[in-house]
Amino acid sequence: MGIAYPVSNLLQRLTLSLFGDWQVKGRENVPPMGPLIVVANHQSNCDPSLLAVSLKRRIWFLAKDTLFHGPAATWFLRSYGAFPLHREGADITAYRWALSQLGQGRALVLFPEGTRSNGALQKGGPGVVRLALKTQAPLLPVGITGTERLGHVTRTLMPTGKIRVNIGQVFSLPSVEGKLNAQVQESMVDTIMLRVAALLPESYQGVYKPQAAEETKAADSP
């Protein structure tokens, strides 16, 4: 495994203890072993390291390919458990890597929004649904608050403010026979995102607030 992951986690716990008000709820909900897809809202580049110290599992995750600049950054990110994701179009290499991690019984973190939000949940993308259906891996929803103020990844060195990680109950998507149509896929995305939204204060729920979700469904109806 190397030293990058444990040393980084040790330092992150230290900085959170020194500079931040960090609390984790629901650690007992994390399965101790087996394939697992962790789905969380995404507000800062600090979120992966926060999840690494908050969950009772070694995690792997996809990171935007622009972070892998230069040999030092690439070595560290790969040692830490990250794999580059090209966000323009479907990235088959990243998808196969994700399948491989789950096939080895690992915990894979995905941020279904696809990019950082401003604190309020945005619409989730379909990639997590395809991966969950393909592998039949259970999903673990996580709600993060407080990191929207941290911004750049260098703020992992001084994570100030009230930071909360709320871990929900594991759930699974129903299996689908035949081809997955767009309507069923969208419904499954909403199921996942509503689980995450339920772990967040209302001000963070964005398009998944109860009223906003109903308005979106009405607008999408023929």
Closest CA to 94 of 122, 114, 75, 121: 114
- Would the pTM count as exceeding 0.85? yes
pLDDT of residue 90: 78
Q: How confident is the model at residue 1 (pLDDT cuts 50, 70, 90)?
A: low
Query: What is the mean pLDDT of the segment spanning 105-122?
Result: 92
Query: What is the mean pLDDT of the segment spanning 211-217?
Result: 56
pLDDT of residue 221: 54
Domains of the chain listed by start with CATH number: 4-220 (3.40.1130.10)
Q: How confident is the model at residue 114 (pLDDT cuts 50, 70, 90)?
A: confident
**pLDDT 10s digits, 154-164:** 888 899 999 99
Q: How confident is the model at residue 118 (pLDDT cuts 50, 70, 90)?
A: confident
pLDDT of residue 117: 87
In order, the DSSP letters of 91-110 are -HHHHHHHHHHHHTT-EEEE
Share of the chain above pLDDT 90, in %: 75
Contact 78, 42 (CB under 8 A): no
Tokens encoding 20 = 């931040």
Q: Which of 88-92, 189-193, 202-206 has the lowest mean pLDDT?
A: 88-92
Backbone angles phi, psi at 43, to 5 degrees: -125, -20
- pLDDT over threshold 80, residue 220: no
Which is more confident, 144 or 91? 144
- pLDDT over threshold 60, residue 9: yes
Query: What is the mean pLDDT of the segment spanning 21-45?
Result: 96
Q: Which sign, positive or negative, has the C-alpha torsion 204, 200, 167, 131? A: negative
Query: What is the mean pLDDT of the segment spanning 46-54?
Result: 95
Q: How far apart are CA 206 and CA 213, in angstroms?
A: 9
Q: How far apart are CA 53 and CA 56, in angstroms?
A: 8
